[in-house]
Structure 1
Amino acid sequence: MIVFALLAAIAAGFVRGLAGFGLSVVLVPVLQLAIAPSAAVLVGLISLFLIGLTDLGRVRRDADRSAIPISALALVCMPLGLWALTALPVEWARVLIAAVSLGAFVLVAVPLGKVVMPRLPAMGLSGFFTGFFGGFAGMPGPGMAPFYLRGRLEPAAARASMMAIFLALTPISAAFFVWRGIGGWNEVKLALMLFPAVLFGDWFGHRAFGRVSKTQWQVATALVLGGAALGAMWKLLA
């Protein structure tokens, strides 16, 4: 299982470096097959915070101001997701966490045609689902990905904005987990053990991002998330 966890950490780091989100989408479904879903979520949150610290300069330079209200609303909604995670039986939590991974792919890849939502309601929905998915599955990305990947921002700004939201949410949500008695030093140690692998994958993701166009970035992000989601569902069913 350690080998699978390290490989998942490398893949998760790569996805995060390329897309700006997706680390937990890849990492948590693999970890929650061996440890409790809530513990896997906490490891994902700690990993997101650690890797976010390496991108402070990029966040300050490129992030859009929309990251501020989305982060604030997500913080308000995150306890609802955490309540759902702790209230559901473990078996249902495992299934739904894998479903969130699949949903991340669907939200990014499904064509919307001419459907356009006004900016303020879109930001509100993004903040709500970012917080809920962050608390329930340690995956804030599926909530914010449609807003930023389908919006008018350039990839660098969209990617940095998502990184900024992760950086704001993850330490507070991780501390809330510990305060509620969900996890502790064991999850911190596991996240630290996996961090070199995450950092290695993230470095390759950053290099790949600098070599692709906007369309290629969107397609590559959808394909990687789709592969990760199918892999998570296959492992869960197996």
Structure 2
Amino acid sequence: MEYALGLLSGYSVWQLGAALAATLGSAFVRGLTGFGMAILLVPILALALPPVESVIVANFLSLFIGLVEIKRLVTGAEKTAWSLSLLVLLFTPLGLYALAVTSPDIARFVIAMIALSAFVAILIPRKNQSAPGRAATGVVGLISGLMTGYAGMPGPPVVPYYVGRNLPRETAKTSMMLVFTVAGLAGIASAIVLGLVRLELALLAAALFPAVLIGNKIGHGASGQISDTAWRIFVGLVLAGAAVAALLRLL
């Protein structure tokens, strides 16, 4: 226990506080909408931590919460979620390598732009329920894998892929959550291979995980209690705020 606390002592009080607040809020959004945790969490974490550490911590948390819900995700997800997950596994290492060789300021800028792209994706109106073709699925999986590695954000291409169709909310949510769980696993495995994972990052994620459980449970309980328009506006505003905050850090 003392050893673990010693490792975490390398983080300042404000860093830990910012990480805790961001984790709780982003987990609430995940429980409410089925997506948004990494999209919201990484830009805010990147204000307090180096971008690579922010992405690794977010991947740990995505994997942890996904494993808690894995039975529901496997049984409720659309078949396309498995195809996307495989592509994410293949392309995440390339994205993480790009992040590792990018300067922190450039990485924060790219992460902010990804958050902004997610904000735009939320505003896309729903279309028909038919699944996109193989080419569209392949492009979404490739980009999602690169974004998982580079920004810990598999969501921007995956969200419109599911939310942009008139799928039942639970099907869309479980499909996205399954892809994000696999993305977390891919991100961690890639970081280990590249020698980027340190014990204190895993401990930080473990320390933040209770906040994920609490926020996710509250959000899940609120799911279905608000209109589709209301949650789109809510998530969009938070996404925009996270992106603006990341851009301000550059200034």
**TM-score scaled by structure 2?**
0.85
Aligned equivalents of 1:214, 1:121: Cα separation in 2: 29
Q: How does 1:220-235 map to 2 (within 5 A)?
A: 220-234=234-248
Kept in 2: contact 1:131–1:143 (CA 8 A): no
Return the match for 2:40 from 26, 29, 39.
26
Is the Cα contact below 8 Å between 1:78 and 1:133 reproduced in 2?
Answer: yes
Shift of 1:118: 4.5
- CA deviation digits over 1:118-163, x for unaligned, max 9? 4333212210111011000011111201101101311110110011
Contact 1:18/1:202 (CA < 8 Å) preserved in 2?
Answer: yes
1:125 paired residue among 120, 139, 146: 139
Is residue 2:14 matched to residue 1:3? no
Alignment equivalent of 1:144, drawn from 158, 170, 190: 158
* Candidates 27, 42, 50, aligned match of 2:64: 50
> Separation in 2 of the partners of 1:124 and 1:101?
22
What TM-score results when the alignment is normalised by the length of structure 1? 0.89
Closer/same/farther in 2, CA of residues 60 and 134 from structure 1, 3 Å limit? same
- Where do residues 1-238 of structure 1 align in structure 2 (5 Å cutoff)? 1=14, 2-110=16-124, 118-234=132-248, 236-237=249-250
Identity of aligned residues (%): 38
Q: Aligned partners of 1:226 and 1:138: how far apart in 2?
A: 17
Report the Cα distance in structure 2 between the residues aligned to 1:220 and 1:137, rounded to whole angstroms. Answer: 22
Gap runs ≥5 in structure 2: 1-13
Q: Matched residue of 1:151: which SS?
A: coil
Tell me the distance in 1 between the aligned counterparts of 2:131 and 2:244: 29
Moved over 6 A (4+): none
CA distance in 2, matches of 1:165, 1:122: 16
**Could you say what secondary structure the match of 1:32 adopts?**
helix
Long gaps (5+) in structure 1: none
CA distance in 2, matches of 1:111, 1:151: 8
State the number of aligned residues: 236
The answer to whether the Cα contact below 8 Å between 1:128 and 1:143 also exists between their aligned partners in 2 is no
Paired letter, 1:30: I
